[in-house]
């Protein structure tokens, strides 16, 4: 997308027919629901990720802790946490995977996103979703049956208030007749990645969002989905997927399934990533939770052997 080529986060992370690599917080392996999440250690690892050449750092949004879900998520509020990460890094893209639009007022999300994009000097990538923790909908008095409509509303409202001064908006949650959202993003827009289908068609997502964040699946299925996405978009809009890895100390270890991904040596991982690059995937976000080695060791090995094949663009 030409309009985002001067956006530092987008330009570092995405280019047509190229694949780059990112990480999702917490940058550690752990069992159970709660990571250690030592802030000093996480910032040292965030800076290391930037220096090694990772393209992005992402964080999840989990407004409530659900003991039955089995994972607290990113622990800290994503806006505050990413502002903190921004202050400790200089070049790496910062993303959400993903803000739960159904539980947050679109004007609040628009202002938070614009503020973070400004503070980070145009490094922010806004992943947006409808939410997947059942306890959250009644807690926020939201009907889950309305989540698809609320997602559409959020996307349309945010895009309008980022671009237009003093816009007039009347939707289910917004009746804006006076006032404006400031600061405006430098580009009057922010790269917005839809997550999964979010109750929408591919055609709607391709028209109204700037990229697609999807789940890990077999390479042939992913290739078919990317092709549908490209056909619907009619221009380059990046395709992103998440992947859990447990990087073995044995570089030749064959893959074994784990939740959301696999355990293997780095040689198979390189071949896997090349296949997905050939399928049209533009960015892979690694999750390290299910790993059996210290995150720092895994990151350094990825930096030495894997990242040179899939370098960030800036």
Q: What is the pLDDT of residues 274-310, one digit of tens each?
A: 999 999 999 999 999 999 999 999 999 999 999 999 9
Q: What mean pLDDT do residues 4-8 have?
A: 96
On the question of pLDDT at 145 being above 80, the answer is yes
Q: Are strands 175-176 and 192-195 parallel, antiparallel or unpaired?
A: unpaired
Please report where in the chains the tokens 């430098």 appear, as a residue: 186
Give residue 85's pLDDT.
98
What pTM value is reported for the model?
A: 0.97
Give residue 73's pLDDT.
79
Give residue 156's pLDDT.
98
> What's the angle, vertex CA 176, arms to CA 173 and CA 179, rounded to 5?
135
Please report where in the chains the tokens 């996307």 appear, as a residue: 155
Q: What mean pLDDT do residues 193-201 have?
A: 98
Own/partner long-range contacts of 305-311 (Cβ < 8 Å, ≥24 apart) = 305/251, 305/266, 305/270, 306/21, 306/266, 306/269, 306/270, 306/273, 307/21, 307/52, 307/53, 307/54, 309/270, 309/273, 309/274, 310/18, 310/19, 310/20, 310/21, 310/273, 310/277, 311/20, 311/53
Q: What mean pLDDT do residues 115-140 have?
A: 96
Give residue 314's pLDDT.
81
Q: Are 147 and 102 in contact (CB under 8 A)?
A: yes
Instruction: Record the tokens describing residue 142, joined without a space.
Output: 């939201």
d(CA 29, CA 22): 16
Q: What is the pLDDT of residues 242-273, one digit of tens each?
A: 999 999 999 999 999 999 999 999 999 999 99
Give residue 132's pLDDT.
86
Give residue 238's pLDDT.
98
Instruction: Record the tokens describing residue 251, joined without a space.
Output: 């570089």
Give residue 1's pLDDT.
67
Q: What is the pLDDT of residues 169-195, one digit of tens each?
A: 999 999 999 999 999 999 999 999 999
Q: What is the pLDDT of residues 10-36, one digit of tens each?
A: 999 999 999 999 999 999 999 988 999
On the question of pLDDT at 3 being above 80, the answer is yes
Q: Domains (ranges, CATH) in the chain?
A: 2-309 (3.20.20.30)
């Amino acid at each position: 997308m030409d309009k985002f080529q001067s956006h530092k986060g987008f330009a570092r992370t995405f280019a047509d027919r190229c694949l780059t690599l990112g990480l999702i917080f917490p940058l550690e392996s752990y069992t159970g629901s709660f990571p250690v999440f030592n802030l000093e250690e996480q910032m040292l690892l965030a800076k290391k990720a930037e220096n090694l050449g990772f393209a992005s750092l992402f964080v999840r949004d989990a407004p409530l802790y659900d003991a039955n879900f089995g994972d607290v998520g990113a622990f800290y509020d994503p806006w505050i946490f990413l502002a903190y990460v921004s202050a400790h890094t200089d070049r790496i893209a910062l993303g959400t995977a993903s803000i739960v639009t159904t539980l947050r007022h679109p004007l609040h999300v628009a202002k938070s996103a614009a503020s973070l994009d400004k503070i980070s000097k145009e490094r922010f990538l806004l992943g947006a979703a409808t939410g997947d923790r059942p306890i959250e909908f009644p807690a926020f008095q939201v009907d889950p049956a309305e989540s698809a409509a609320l997602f559409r509303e959020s996307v349309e409202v945010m895009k309008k208030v980022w671009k237009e001064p003093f816009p007039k908006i009347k939707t289910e949650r917004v009746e804006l007749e006076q006032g404006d959202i400031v600061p405006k993003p430098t580009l009057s827009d922010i790269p917005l990645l839809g997550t999964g289908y979010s109750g929408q068609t591919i055609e709607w997502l391709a028209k109204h969002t700037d990229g697609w964040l999807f789940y890990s699946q077999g390479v042939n299925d992913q290739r078919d989905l990317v092709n549908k996405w490209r056909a619907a978009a009619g221009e380059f809009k990046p395709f992103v997927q998440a992947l859990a890895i447990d990087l073995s100390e044995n570089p030749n270890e064959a893959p074994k399934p784990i939740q959301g991904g696999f355990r293997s040596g780095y040689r198979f991982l390189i071949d896997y990533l090349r296949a997905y690059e050939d399928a049209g995937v533009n960015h892979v976000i690694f999750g390290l939770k299910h790993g059996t080695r210290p995150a720092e060791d895994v990151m350094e090995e990825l930096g030495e052997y894997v990242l040179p094949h899939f370098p960030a663009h800036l």
